[in-house]
A and B are shown apart, each in its own frame.
Chain A
């Protein structure tokens, strides 16, 4: 299990757009972090630095003891698994099972280990029943989960999910939530990029808020949600229950239980 560190990372696209400005942050092993912020705030750009798809224009990115500049993307893939925003593009095998096995095989795992990892990943993404089907015959929402499974199966110490819940129905969102929990329970680091703040509040204990390529806020949920003014700047709304608590002038809470307890108390007082 390895830590991540960004040291004063800035990045400018060849077209001249500066997407990251002097970002410094560290993520300890086993953390579940959400990366949130307005469209174009730099979330995807930052994530693409973690496995070397992009190299910082200045500053450096450390994955454990590796500087991303000194290793190929394929090497870094053993440490950081990354599920793309539109992962449908990467699917090419004839069966879901083979598709999921592609990553772990690339990493040179023994066949028995590959088989075991594939099975676990299919189970976690609730795809075991379609293991033998052609990925292109699946519904788009399931296809997206195939891509997720194919990265989970690589058993990397760090997993990055870019907008995992878009297009998923209630059950799909639940399944992805369970995956995040499971990865975290296994002591691995998970970084989720999402506009679904309720999902982030449920499954990520630390929130990093980006705006204009900078880190505007970084901390545990209670701290971040208390800064409504800063969230506002980068087009983020607190979770539904937090907004409710704020409107009712109750202590900040994003889970139903504490909110219900507070409601009970305030109604008893009346």
Chain B
């Protein structure tokens, strides 16, 4: 499945999309505003996880948020614990390198913040049909183009996942080993990341062309309708005539 959205009968699903977005941002602001290292973790465990259970999406919620977190957590811990600039409390030595307590603490703080932010947004995405989210935003007066960009950006994670699996398949088909030791897997990352990033950029290019076609039309709605009138007429005729071409409509056009 490409989509994050999980269809379930739950009170969380019933909430207005914007209410959910507001709660998400509220939780994030609260956690970051307090500036205490462990607060995001507590909020995640005591607010978000129970809410996800209430929405019957606890499994995908925890799994996906950890999956998003993992690469950040690893790089944060490796880089910060070894190279934190103001670190002088040395916990352990690894040859010429040393692990510093300040770095570990900084990495922990960063990791739990990312966990909370990812979790808060994820909960909304898992429980909100993107179409409803889009409609909700537009109804509240968001410019349609902006609403569209927000929703598709939030969806970019699953789209990347889809693309990533295509690329992995292609590279495996060219003899790239992706299963096995950590070293083997690490080596497999490069041929994945290159096309993923470059491909996504090219994709964004073309996608934004398609978007302009979709969304700009939407803006056109604000203008007086006469231009849209004959427009729709032609469209309806189109379908009629196209059907006619296949011989299953009466010759009306």
Residues of A at the B interface (CB closer than 8 Å) are 15, 48, 51, 53, 72-74, 77-78, 81-82, 84, 86-93, 102-103, 106-107, 136, 150-151, 154
Contact = CB atoms under 8 A, between A and B. Distances in A.
Given A90-B167, A92-B191, A82 B198 contact: no
29 contacts: A51-B173, A53-B169, A53-B172, A72-B172, A72-B177, A73-B172, A73-B173, A74-B172, A74-B175, A74-B179, A77-B172, A84-B170, A86-B166, A88-B199, A89-B166, A90-B167, A90-B191, A90-B195, A92-B195, A92-B198, A93-B194, A102-B176, A103-B175, A106-B176, A106-B177, A107-B175, A136-B202, A151-B173, A154-B174
Interface in B164-197: 166-167, 169-179, 190-191, 194-195
Contacts of A51: 173
Nearest to A87: B170
Nearest to B179: A72
User: Which 8 residue pairs across A and B have the least CB separation, nearest first?
Assistant: A92-B194, A106-B175, A90-B170, A77-B175, A73-B172, A103-B174, A74-B177, A92-B195
Residue with the highest number of chain A CB atoms closer than 10 Å, among B172, B176, B177, B202? B172
B2 to A, nearest CB: 10
Nearest to A147: B170
Contact of A102 (B167, B174, B178, B202): B174
Interface of B: 1, 163, 166-167, 169-179, 190-191, 194-195, 198-199, 202
Contacts of A107: 175
A29 to B, nearest CB: 20
Contacts of B202: 136
Given A72-B179, A81-B173, A92-B194, 16 more contacts: A15-B1, A53-B173, A72-B172, A73-B173, A74-B179, A77-B172, A78-B175, A84-B170, A89-B199, A90-B170, A91-B195, A93-B194, A102-B174, A102-B191, A106-B174, A106-B177
A78 B172 CA distance: 11
A150 B176 CA distance: 13
A150 B174 contact: yes
A92 B174 CA distance: 13
Contacts of A78: 175
B170 A74 contact: no
Contacts of A87: 170
Nearest to B164: A89
Contacts of B195: 89-92
A102 B174 CA distance: 8
Nearest to A14: B1
A77 B194 contact: no
A84 B174 CA distance: 11
Contact of B170 (A15, A72, A89, A93): A89
